[in-house]
Structure 1
Amino acid sequence: MYKMAPGFKTVNGDLRNWIGEIKFKSGRDFSSCWIEILLPENYPSEPPIVSCSSSLRHPIIDPATNRFNLRLLRNWNPNTHIYEIVNVIKSEFSRQPPEFLGALKPITKPSLEVENLSAGEIKELESKIRELESEVEYLRKDLAEKNDEIARLQNILSKETSFKDKGVKSGLSSLPVDSSTDLEGEKAALEGVIRDLEARFEAGDITPEEYFKLSQKYRKQLFLVGKNLSDTRKAESKN
């Protein structure tokens, strides 16, 4: 949590109670609010209680309780990490900044005037932008290649399932070791994709919204592949 959600810390060392500051931009100004996350006794079976210490108006905040009403919390998955909740809130605030209820002054951050930059500084910034764009393009290609590999393995699994449904023994099904081996390969590929995704998110190469969507997608696929692998191994042990 400390690493994936900088700015959040425990309250008096209690690992079930976290508090942190979330900053967001509204117009030309920067504002912030404090978020509290309380983990119930039955966590992770039950979702955390996430509330805002400031009075804010936003579609994801219940005005009566100041608690966050996120779909992620309503459709709670015990495998979800609490830093993912923080990332979703940041993403929602970035997409639609909240409004303060009351006369609260936003935190103003001085802006960098472009006209104060020298020609050399502008050139350096442009070079840095091109470098980052190149890195992003490389990461996109790498992710696309891994997606292609996952699709290939899923295609093999789909064909194998089709053969079994028709009562036909394919070359793959006649060799039980190959069947579990293919699933193990798909599982390893998915685990690699998830590790790469976490590394890119930690490095700031992808947005919290992109990370959340892709993480949920690949973790779901990993769960299904793991279940299929377990079932396949049981079937192979009986043969």
Structure 2
Amino acid sequence: MEEEEPSFHPVDGDLRRWAGFIIGTGIYDGGVFEIEIILPRKFPYEPPKVIWKTNIWHPNIFQKNVCVNILGKDWLPTMSMAGVVETLRNLLNYPNPNSPLNTEAARQMNRNLEEFSKTAKEYVKKYATWDRLKK
């Protein structure tokens, strides 16, 4: 299995439900993050729902939800599945503590970036491994 590029596939042949993973970079380097993307009936006129299945210490990802404007008010019908996946990859590199879902992570990121990075890396080691993905 390629361990660098994201990989997604339809769930049980359902082209509206996609499951896969993204490999972390930056402070999430080497982490394997399981994600499900659900396309609404009106896709691409409505944004998909993203379910982040792997525990992560991140200001914009909390309890399986993802907060990024492109999946809400800034969604455009020209966006593709590849664009959604790339947005999620970029969110790992550029967390936005000013628009948090996880206020604790955002607070820690703003007050002590070194401690935030340490906690994020601990989550990667504990939750975001190939072994956990295969279970």
Higher relative contact order (Cα pairs below 8 Å, separated by 6+ residues): 2
Contact 1:35/1:50, CA 8 A, preserved across alignment: yes
Matched AA of 1:72: I
Contact 1:29/1:107, CA 8 A, preserved across alignment: no
Higher strand share: 2
Contact 1:46/1:78, CA 8 A, preserved across alignment: yes
**1:38 Cα deviation (Å)?**
0.2
Matched AA of 1:30: G
Give the direction of change, closer, same or farther, for the CA distance of 1:31–1:101 in structure 2 (3 Å limit): closer
Correspondence for 1:68: 66
Correspondence for 1:104: 126
**1:26 Cα deviation (Å)?**
5.5
Give the direction of change, closer, same or farther, for the CA distance of 1:105–1:79 in structure 2 (3 Å limit): closer
Correspondence for 1:150: none
Asked whether 1:59 is paired with 2:59, we answer yes
**What is the number of residues matched between the two proteins?**
102
For residues 117-174 of structure 1, the C-alpha deviation after alignment (integer angstroms, 9 at most, x for no partner) is xxxxxxxxxxxxxxxxxxxxxxxxxxxxxxxxxxxxxxxxxxxxxxxxxxxxxxxxxx
Unaligned runs of 5+ in 2: 96-116, 131-135
**1:84 Cα deviation (Å)?**
0.5
Distance 1:56 1:27 in 2: 11
Matched AA of 2:67: N
Distance 1:53 1:9 in 2: 15
RMSD: 3.0
Matched residues, percent identical? 27
Moved over 3 A (4+): 25-29, 95-98, 100-103, 105-108
Give the direction of change, closer, same or farther, for the CA distance of 1:76–1:105 in structure 2 (3 Å limit): closer
Unaligned runs of 5+ in 1: 109-239
Higher helix share: 1
Contact 2:51/2:64, CA 8 A, preserved across alignment: yes
Asked whether 1:43 is paired with 2:65, we answer no
Q: TM-score, normalised by structure 2?
A: 0.62
Question: Which structure: larger Rg?
Answer: 1
